Structure 1
Amino acid sequence: MTNLKLVDVNIKGSNYVGGLAGWNSGTMSNIYVTGSITGVTKTGGLAGGNGGAIANSFVAGSITGSYTAGGFVGENYGPIDQSYHTGSITGTESVGGLVGENNAPISNSYHTGSITGTHNVGGLIGDNYAPIDKSYAAGSVTGSSAAGGLVGNNYATVSDSFYDSETTNQSDTGKGIGLSTLDMGKQSTYAGWDFTSIWGDKRVRQ
């Protein structure tokens, strides 16, 4: 699926609930979704569960779920690149700004907005088992245990990635680099990022 816009969706379900797909096994690119998505387990702004490749897509809206809730994907098993979510996410366990539970590489992606959960809550990923590279999170993060500015619960490598320690109110080690809001807005912070073909039109947003 490519070059598709879904505007002002209002989707409600139980398991595998997404703005575009309950479960995705193919490729998605240049997808745009706005609205609200509500589920119980595996709830995401684009897909409830993902086993394919996603690139150059974004979601703007509110996501509400209990377990594995993400602004983009609830439970992820496919690579995600150059994608983002902006808006509010509310859940209980494994709650992330982009992905609730992640099992595949994520790169050049970000989340801005509010995240509220209980356990394994992160600005970008709630529960992470795969590499994260050149990504960031800026917004509020609220969780009772295993909460993080970029990643809540982490078992993989996080490289060249950042979170706003002021807006998230989090301070982590080994799960991304925390910066002030001022430094998050400086292009010089992101040495090594591609501002010619990737980040040129996606300057760091608050």
Structure 2
Amino acid sequence: MDASFWHQRWASNEIGFHGSEANPMLVEHFSSLNLNKGERIFLPLCGKTLDITWLLAQDLKVVGAELSEIAIQQLFAELGVTPTISEWSKGKHYRAENLDIYVGDFFAMQAQTLGHVDAIYDRAAMVALPESMRLQYTTHLMALTARAPMLLISFEYDQRLMPGPPFSVTEKEITAHYQPNYQLQQLAAKEVPGGLKGKCPARECVWLLASK
């Protein structure tokens, strides 16, 4: 899966993965991150998720990384905010009060570009990547963020029934990637109503990753 896949999805408005409200699991379990007002939370592969609006309403500073500039143009339009746009070494930087979005290749980002973050919220990044890319992703994410605490949302289902994305990411895999550096706690797991994309039974799980 390469960049052209996601560019095509946004260009053709094939964004069924974009929710119509903030993720209920974020709303329910956000407090487990113990963030204070004004602290900074990072959303990798953020798209134009309404979770950003919800997090801003909690008086947080939000920073995201996204490949598609179309997604970020739509994000700011829907927020009713005119961004300041500048360049970073591998793309564009959209900025407004309490909101920074880096458009470009997540894997090309460096820690000094991102700056300090107090937490990570991964709703749609790990599950968006095929298994062959997930070790590269998790390794880079930890390096970028100095292993900041994380709220991670995953799906578990029979991958034979649907090709993804979103992909099935099991407890075993999450543990393999993160347990050397984090204490892992599954906060909740629930059945996806009607199945994932209406195609197959699935569970949506939320994890808290606390730095060791």
Query: TM-score higher than 0.5 here?
Result: no
| Richer in helix (by share) | 2
The TM-score with structure 2 as length reference comes to 0.29
Q: Which has the larger radius of gyration?
A: 2
Q: Which has the higher strand share?
A: 1
The higher relative CO (CA closer than 8 Å, separation ≥ 6) is in 2
